[in-house]
Amino acid sequence: MSTAKITPSATALSTTIKNLTSCNLINLQYPHAQTLAFTSSPYPTRTFGRPGNTRIRKGFAVLMSAPATDPLEVCVKASVTTPNKLGDCPFTQRVLLTLEEKHLPYDLKLVDFANKPDWFLQISPEGKVPVIKLDDKWIPDSDVITQALEEKFPEPPLVTPPEKATAGSKIFSNFIGFLKSKDPSDGTEQALLDELTAFNDYLKDNGPLINGTKVSAADLSLGPKLYHLEISLGHYKKWSVPDSLPYLKSYMKTIFSLESFIKTRAKPEDVIEGWRPKVEG
Ligand SMILES: N[C@@H](CCC(=O)N[C@@H](CS)C(=O)NCC(=O)O)C(=O)O
C-alpha cells in the first residue's frame, strides 16, 4: 500500500485568514497572529477558523492551538502513468477538494486499479473509490462522504443552498454520452451543448460561482467533472467549450486555478487513459 501525507496548502490557510479578517476577527496590526497561522507544525490547519479555537478580545482574535488530529485516511485510484501519484477520479477529487477547503490533513492510500489488493476490497467490496475512514469506519461514495465531512467539520461551511445545488448537475451524464458516441448525428453533442448553455446562463445571473462569489460544495463536485470534460473531449473529439459560453469558460478557469484544485487534480495523461475504455469499448 502506498501512502502520501497531505497537509492543506498555505493559500487555503490564507483564504481562511482573509475570511476571518473580513469578519473583523483578526486585526492584521498583530502580525503575530499571521505568524501563528503559518507555523510549520505538522497539522496546524485544524486550529484555524473553527469554533472554540478563536478567542476574541478587544476586537481582535488570538488563535489558540488545538490538539492535532490524525490525518484522515482516503483510498484513491493510483496513477497509471506515474508511480506513486494520485490517479484520475472526479469523485475522489471532490472529496480531496472538500478536505483541502476545510483545511483537514489527510493520507492518501493509493490503490492499483489493475490489481485491486485484498485490503482494499475488504474496505470497499464494490472496488470503488473514494473511501474515507471517519470515526474508525470506512465510508464510500462522495455524496455521503462530503455530507459527513460537513457535519463533522462544519467550519468553514461549504453548503450550497438547496435551490442552487443542482446547477450544472446534468452536464456530467451528457458529457459521457457525447464522449462515448460514435455517431456524430445522434444528438449527444447538442444535448451536452444545451446543458452547458443552461449552466452558462445560470452563471450569468448568479455567478461567477454556483453560490455567487463563495466557493461551495456544488463547485467542488462540478469542477472535477468539467476538468475531465475539457481534457477528454479535447483529446478524443478535438472538441472544446465554445466561445459563445463566456461565463462557463471563466468559471472553469477560476475553479481550475484554485490552489486546492491544482493540488488535487489528476494528470491529464491519467484522465485520458481513464476514459479510454469508455471511448474505445
Ligand atoms: N457514486 C460514487 C462513484 C464512485 C466511482 O464510480 N468511482 C470510480 C472511479 S472514478 C471507481 O472506483 N470505479 C471502479 C472501477 O473502475 O473499477 C461516488 O460518488 O463516489
What one-character-per-residue DSSP string does 124-162 give? Answer: -TT--S-EEEETTEEEE-HHHHHHHHHHH--SS--PPPT
Does 127 fall in a domain? yes
* CATH number, domain containing residue 130: 3.40.30.10
The three grid cell numbers given for residue 135, joined into one nine-digit string: 470515526
Does 197 fall in a domain? yes
* 77 to 81, 113, 142: CA distances (angstroms): 12, 6, 14
Amino acid at 73: E
Do 53 and 76 belong to one domain?
A: no
Does 227 fall in a domain? yes
What residues pair up with 106 in beta bridges, in sequence order?
A: 6, 72
Percent of the chain at pLDDT > 70 equals 76
Select from 77, 86, 91 the residue to mutate for testing ligand 1; criterion: most ligand atoms less than 8 Å from CB: 91
Is 89's C-beta closer than 6 angstroms to any atom of ligand 1? yes
Element (H, E) at 247: helix 246-257
Predicted local confidence at residue 9, as pLDDT: 54
92 alpha carbon – ligand 1 mean position (Å): 8
90 alpha carbon – ligand 1 mean position (Å): 9
Closest CA to 158 of 207, 100, 105, 204: 100
How do residues 76-134 score in pLDDT, each as one tens digit? 999 999 999 999 999 999 999 999 999 999 999 999 999 999 999 999 999 999 999 99
Where among 12, 32, 63 does a domain terminate?
Answer: 63
How do residues 230-251 score in pLDDT, each as one tens digit? 999 999 999 999 999 999 999 9
Do 50 and 117 belong to one domain?
A: no
Does 189 fall in a domain? yes
Do 27 and 74 belong to one domain?
A: no
Q: For residue 52, what are the domain limits?
A: 4-63
The three grid cell numbers given for residue 108, joined into one nine-digit string: 492518501
Q: What is the spatial distance between Cα 147 and Cα 154, in angstroms, rounded to a whole number? A: 10
pTM of full prediction above 0.85: no
Do 8 and 54 belong to one domain?
A: yes
Do 178 and 230 belong to one domain?
A: yes
Q: What is the mean pLDDT of the chain?
A: 83
Is 142's C-beta closer than 6 angstroms to any atom of ligand 1? yes
Do 233 and 270 belong to one domain?
A: yes
Closest CA to 276 of 38, 81, 19: 81
Predicted local confidence at residue 69, as pLDDT: 75
pLDDT band at 281 (very low <50, low <70, confident <90, very high): confident
Mention every residue, 6+ apart, whose C-beta is less than 8 A from residue 17. Answer: 26, 34, 37, 48
Ligand 1 atom with minimal separation from the 140 CA: 20
Q: How many domains does the chain have?
A: 3
Predicted local confidence at residue 6, as pLDDT: 66
Compute φ and ψ for 266, nearest 5 degrees.
Answer: -80, 160
Pick the catalytic residue from 78, 89, 123, 167: 89
State yes or no: is 75 an active-site residue. no
89 alpha carbon – ligand 1 mean position (Å): 7
131 alpha carbon – ligand 1 mean position (Å): 10
Is 91's C-beta closer than 6 angstroms to any atom of ligand 1? yes
Ligand 1 atom with minimal separation from the 124 CA: 12
Question: Is 211's pLDDT higher than 70?
Answer: yes
* 45 to 26, 34, 105, 265: CA distances (angstroms): 16, 13, 8, 21
Select from 80, 89, 109, 128 the residue to mutate for testing ligand 1; criterion: most ligand atoms less than 8 Å from CB: 128
Report which protein residue has its CA nearest ligand 1's atom 13.
Answer: 128
Do 104 and 132 belong to one domain?
A: yes
